Structure 1
Amino acid sequence: MEETAPERDTAQAGTGSAAGRAAEPLLELSGLEKHFPITSGLVFKRQAGRVHAVDGIDLTVHAGETLGLVGESGCGKSTTGRLVARLLEPTGGSIRYGGRDITHASRRELRPIRAEIQMIFQDPYSSLNPRHTVGGIIRGPMEINGIDPPGGRDRRVRELLEIVGLNPEHYNRFPHEFSGGQRQRIGVARALALDPRLIVADEPVSALDVSIQAQVVNLLQRLQRELGIAFLFIAHDLAVVRHFSQRVAVMYLGKIVEIADRDSLYERPRHPYTHALLSAVPEVGLESAPGTGPRERIRLAGDVPSPIAPPSGCRFRTRCWKAQEKCAAEEPPLVRLEGNREGHLTACHFPEAPTVHGRDVVLDPALA
């Protein structure tokens, strides 16, 4: 199915519902960039190039929702998370949180905001100080921010341990006495210590066994339901992202190539890269479903280009089976395609026809 002219979406990355689009986003990234300089020379250093880790992305996260951010390793997902938490200084673009521009806010200005934006790190082993007790690790954010909860900090530590499913009496133990899954729960408890509104979860389950992954993801879902926390959920496991996220953004070589609500993206991917990623996800029982055959597996040719010298135009064109001259000459904007009113945004000159399990989907003529 051939698409007609694309239609720009002024809402950037809306939730797909009228109510969601009407509310002001809790977090809004606009044209966000992070370039790391490459220097040469031992004495007289000079800049020899730049790594385009994040290169002009637009994203929104609304209160209480989970936005999944997926892509291959090295595409800029973790750098994006660290920019949101202001652990890195942006090169360009803007970060707005709660309607306030925090792109270049000073440490003093960021102090009250940091309490509302917390982070769960990927490695549960290196992210906890081995010299501190679990109680000291969870109590630390409260001490730094001068917060004295009712009943005292130790009581709050025990409450948080119980919330994440650990024995409150173990607050005097050290991290090495816990398993990987338990350590990650400690990291979650630390992130909850300041009652955040937004948590950046950077590959929070990738270092865990499959059974432990399910426990941690279910814990995060329960906390979101009970506390109304928004998540920027960074992962490369598409099955986990589908289980946890309401919307999903796909990233490739520092760029966002597709954003949609979970069901729309997984069932009707429009960007060739998204199509290739989803084709690699094993789905038990898909081949035996009535009216469907085996899903086509797409093997991408070549390697991911270097972020030091990304390709011109569309960055995916060097591996794309649909690439044409226009793809090298023009960078495709992230737009809402004509005939799509669900907030499904795609950055492709020649988007895929909407399919479900490899079968073409016929759009409503009123939308075409």
Structure 2
Amino acid sequence: MSEELLELSGLEKHFPVTGGLIFKRQIGKVHAVDGVDLTVHAGEALGLVGESGCGKSTTGRLAARLLEPTGGAIRYRGRDITHASRKELKPIRSEIQMIFQDPYSSLNPRHTVGTIISGPMEINGIEPPGGRERRVKELLETVGLNPEHYNRFPHEFSGGQRQRIGVARALALNPKLIVADEPVSALDVSIQAQVVNLLQQLQKELGIAFLFIAHDLAIVRHFSQRVAVMYLGKIVEIADRTSLYERPRHPYTHALLSAVPEATTEKGGRERIRLAGDVPSPIDPPSGCRFRTRCWKAQDKCATEEPPLVRLEGNEEGHLTACHFPEEPTTQGENVVLDPALRG
């Protein structure tokens, strides 16, 4: 296994909830991220999946140090950057870049493409060989755009083209890690495959590590070497993609895989697992196992003891699950059907 590039240990992010008409006071807190342990190795793509509101994007922003963590630790290449100052983070910023979810709001409409992509170079005082304009045009070609687009504005591009501009901006400083926060969720289905295939090509050719955040399980399986499943601020299962998709152990992972469109089995179809109720409020999460209020296997123990994220009997090394009563290993996810455009 390659070196550990990014390590999150017991990471927490709580947002205060205030009340009062005149005198504001804190009456609670949102447990957005609550004890996350993750490791991203150099050159690998780690997928992070889960329902909306589970804390995926917050985890990504914490990893990139765009948010200040409430607790836990963030280590980058062995260095603790949990509470590093702006000055201390400056040399690291160039190595950790981010691709944002919405290509329509993440690009300044008043700046040209050249200004947007060269922005990171200007901020960091970097003058590449041949000048910034030459570097920007090279990046435009790398992401499949015409170098002549240098002086155009974002409104002149489609959603897919705008996201490619965002990718070019993320590549401007030759990063070692890119946090991709649902980079294709705002795009048309026909464009999603193009952007995902572009990212995969760049990952292989440039050796960039990715923390790839998404809710589309088929895309995550196509792109990532390992996958972590998140529920209500916690990681409930993590494994290499083959092990997780073909032999899931956590009931929540089973439920997610059962919802993948066009998934079939030899028996001619998989029964959809419909979860009871709604996702609990992160302001007052359930005691013990947070998934127990929607789990068909929950017992009294689940309400009093939080299950640790550990390797279960029969699991491959590196396949960790947080469940007191895990599912038996199956081949439930092995026949997830990918969009033809995503197939290699």
TM-score under structure 2 normalisation? 0.95
User: Which residue does the alignment assign to 1:111?
Assistant: 90
Relative distance call for 1:201 and 1:150 in structure 2 (3 A) is: same
- The separation in 2 between residues aligned to 1:318 and 1:39, in whole angstroms, is 27
Q: Which residue of 2 aligns with 1:365?
A: none
Is the CA contact (8 Å cut-off) linking 2:245 and 2:332 kept in structure 1?
no
Deviation of 1:357 after TM superposition, in Å, equals: 3.0
Measure the CA separation in 1 of the matches of 2:250 and 2:6: 25
Q: Output the CA distance in 2 between the equivalents of 1:70 and 1:50.
A: 23
Q: Conserved in 1, the CA contact under 8 Å of 2:248 and 2:332?
A: no
Q: Does the aligned pair in 1 maintain the 2:45–2:225 contact within 8 Å?
A: yes
2 CA distance for matches of 1:282 and 1:90? 36
Match of residue 329, structure 1, among 296, 299, 304: 304
Matching residue of 1:247: 226
Q: Aligned with 2:4: secondary structure?
A: coil
Q: Name the residue aligned to 1:163.
A: 142
For 1:98 and 1:109, locate their aligned partners in 2 and report how far apart those are by CA, in whole Å: 14
Structure 2 residue 188 is matched with structure 1 residue 213: no
What amino acid maps onto 1:192 in structure 2?
L
- Could you tell me which residue of structure 2 aligns to residue 347 of structure 1? 322
| Separation of aligned partners in 1, 2:321 and 2:333 | 19
Q: Does residue 95 in structure 1 map to residue 70 in structure 2?
A: no
Whether the 8 Å contact between 1:312 and 1:331 is mirrored in structure 2 is: yes
**1:122 is the counterpart of 2:101:** yes
Aligned mates of 2:256, 2:27 — CA distance in 1: 33
**CA-to-aligned-CA distance 1:82-119 (integer Å, 9 cap, x gap):** 10111100000000001100000000000010100000
Query: CA offset at residue 44 of structure 1?
Result: 2.3
AA aligned to 1:233 is F
Structure-to-structure mapping, 1:287-302, within 5 angstroms: 287=265, 289=266, 292-302=267-277
Q: Per the alignment, do residues 358 and 128 of structure 1 end up closer, same or farther by CA in structure 2, a change over 3 Å counting? A: closer
What is the CA–CA distance in structure 2 between the aligned matches of 1:203 and 1:341, rounded to whole Å?
28
Alpha-carbon distance between aligned partners in 1 of 2:269 and 2:218, rounded to the nearest angstrom? 18
Deviation of 1:185 (Å):
0.0
Give the conservation status (yes or no) of the 8 Å contact 1:199–1:229: yes
Q: How does 1:1-368 map to 2 (within 5 A)?
A: 20=1, 23-283=2-262, 286-287=264-265, 289=266, 292-357=267-332
Q: Residue deviations 1:136-185, cap 9 Å, x none?
A: 00011000000000000000000000000000011100000000000000
Distance 1:256 1:67 in 2: 13
Which residue identity is paired with 1:50? K
Give, in whole Å, the separation in 2 of the partners of 1:200 and 1:283.
29
Moved more, 195-204 or 340-349: 340-349
Partner-residue secondary structure (3-state), 1:160? helix
3-state SS, counterpart of residue 243 of structure 2: helix
> Tell me, what secondary structure is at the counterpart of 1:350?
coil
TM-superposition CA deviations, 1:181-229 (whole Å, max 9, x none):
0000000000000000000000000011112100000100110111000
Q: Counterpart amino acid of 1:319? A: R
Do the aligned partners of 2:232 and 2:282 also contact (CA within 8 Å) in 1? yes
Contact map agreement 1:39 1:46 (CA 8 A) in 2: yes
- On the 8 A contact 2:243/2:316 being kept in 1, the answer is no
Residue 355 of structure 1 aligns to a residue whose secondary structure is coil
* CA apart distance, 1:342: 2.6
Larger relative CO (CA 8 A, sep 6+): 1 or 2?
1
Normalized against structure 1, the TM-score is what?
A: 0.89
CA RMSD between the two structures: 1.2
Deviations 1:8-40 (A, max 9, x none): xxxxxxxxxxxx1xx431000000000000111
Give the unaligned 5+ runs of structure 2: 335-344
* 8 Å Cα contact 1:295/1:358 also seen in 2: no
1:59 deviates by: 0.2
| Native 8 Å contact 1:257 1:346 kept in 2 | yes
> What is the number of equivalent residue pairs in this alignment?
334
Q: Indicate conservation of the 8 Å contact 1:130/1:174, yes or no.
A: yes
| 2-structure distance, mates of 1:310, 1:270 | 22
Check whether the contact 2:247–2:333 (CA below 8 A) recurs between aligned residues: no
Matches of 1:43 and 1:101, distance apart in 2: 40
- Which secondary structure state, in structure 1, belongs to the residue aligned with residue 121 of structure 2? helix
Structure 1 spans left out of the alignment, 5+ residues: 1-19, 360-368
Which secondary structure state, in structure 1, belongs to the residue aligned with residue 191 of structure 2?
helix
